[in-house]
Amino acid sequence: MIQHVMTGARSALLACAAVALGTFSAGVFAQDAYPSKAIRLIVPFAPGGVTDTSGRLIADQLTKRLGQQVFVENKTGASGNIGTALVANAEPDGYTLVLGFDGTLVINPHVFHPIPFDSVNGLAPIGKIGDAALILVANPTVTAKTLQEVIAQSKLEPGGLGFGTSGIGGTPHIAGELLNQQTGSKLMHVPYKGGGQALIDVQGGTIPLVYTAVAGAYQLVQTGRVVAVAVSSAQRVPSLPDVPTFIESGVPGFVVNSWVGLLAPAKTPKAVVERLNTELNAILTDPQVVARLSKLGIDAKPGTPAQFGDEIKADLARYGEVVTAARIKLD
């Protein structure tokens, strides 16, 4: 009788162990199997721009490395808010990602009220793709050729000195306002519905200055149709080695870049985030990818999810102060 009970207990324990082992094995297998189906990469902007093009490049490379199709889906509207909110509210399983843009994630929360997502608690950073340097350019007839001359001239103009950008609340707009706050310059923002028209108008002399991405202004600088004043990156841009930085031009610590990166919904499993980060970093160290991103004006920046998350938090705080001081608001 006792032996029978002991045998039964032993069998029960073995059965439980088998179940536990099976559950563990299934969990490991499920984790190792990611991804087992196609992945959506939401680009919250229209097709054809630099952000969209960089997203498609990364999606193609991830497809090759993951063995599953990563397809781009453009969800436009509200300066990127609609597409970003879609991902923040998606199932946190690693199959819906978003191409995060600094303007959307760290500026929009301060200028849009209400904002339909939480940049810190609603999304899980996967990794930064890279930085896009910004540049201040002038019409060739503008007498001020250096940054200090631009600052001085802006203080003498009755209405200030106008600078065009791609729109209210974009990174170039914030950069111009930050310059005003740090130097006392009187640059007056002239918002456009896209950077292309602003560059056309600065060539024609309709506006004296434009703050934009280096990639958009590069050919105009090279052909002399606009004059490069300074770039707001930490170091000089390799494609324009003769153009000084804002720091070199006498504004200590002034660094403002646009950046782009990958994010997933909050609570996405850590193993999935780490797998995607590993593959992204491998892509960003591929010389051919680095060269293609460079042509888009993006300096590849591989790193960890934590580093990208820390940058998002820091920029949220930094740009929040600028937006508040400049009283920028969009409803």
pLDDT tens, residue by residue, 292-328: 999 888 999 999 999 999 999 999 999 999 999 999 9
- Whole-angstrom Cα distance, residue 309 to residue 92? 17
Q: What DSSP character marks residue 105?
A: I
pTM of the predicted protein model: 0.85
CATH ID of 37-131+258-326, from 3.40.190.150, 1.20.1260.10, 3.30.497.10, 3.40.50.150: 3.40.190.150
pLDDT tens, residue by residue, 210-224: 999 998 899 999 999
- Whole-angstrom Cα distance, residue 274 to residue 34? 11
156 against 3, higher pLDDT? 156
pLDDT tens, residue by residue, 78-91: 999 999 999 999 99
- Write down the CATH number for the domain with range 133-231: 3.40.190.10
- Whole-angstrom Cα distance, residue 255 to residue 259? 12
Q: Is the dihedral of CA 211, 257, 326, 248 positive or negative?
A: negative
Q: Where are the domains of the chain?
A: 37-131+258-326, 133-231
- Residue type, position 62, single letter: L
* pLDDT number for residue 331: 67
Domain 37-131+258-326 matches domain 133-231 at the CATH topology level:
yes
b/e sequence 34-71, b meaning 16+ C-beta within 10 Å: bbeeebbbbbbbeeebbbbbbbbbbbebbbebbeeebe
* pLDDT number for residue 32: 57
Per-residue pLDDT for 20 more than 80? no
Judge residue 205's burial from the number of C-beta atoms within 10 Å of its C-beta, 0-12 exposed, 13-18 middle, 19 or more buried.
Answer: exposed
Give the pairing type, strands 96-101 and 257-265: antiparallel
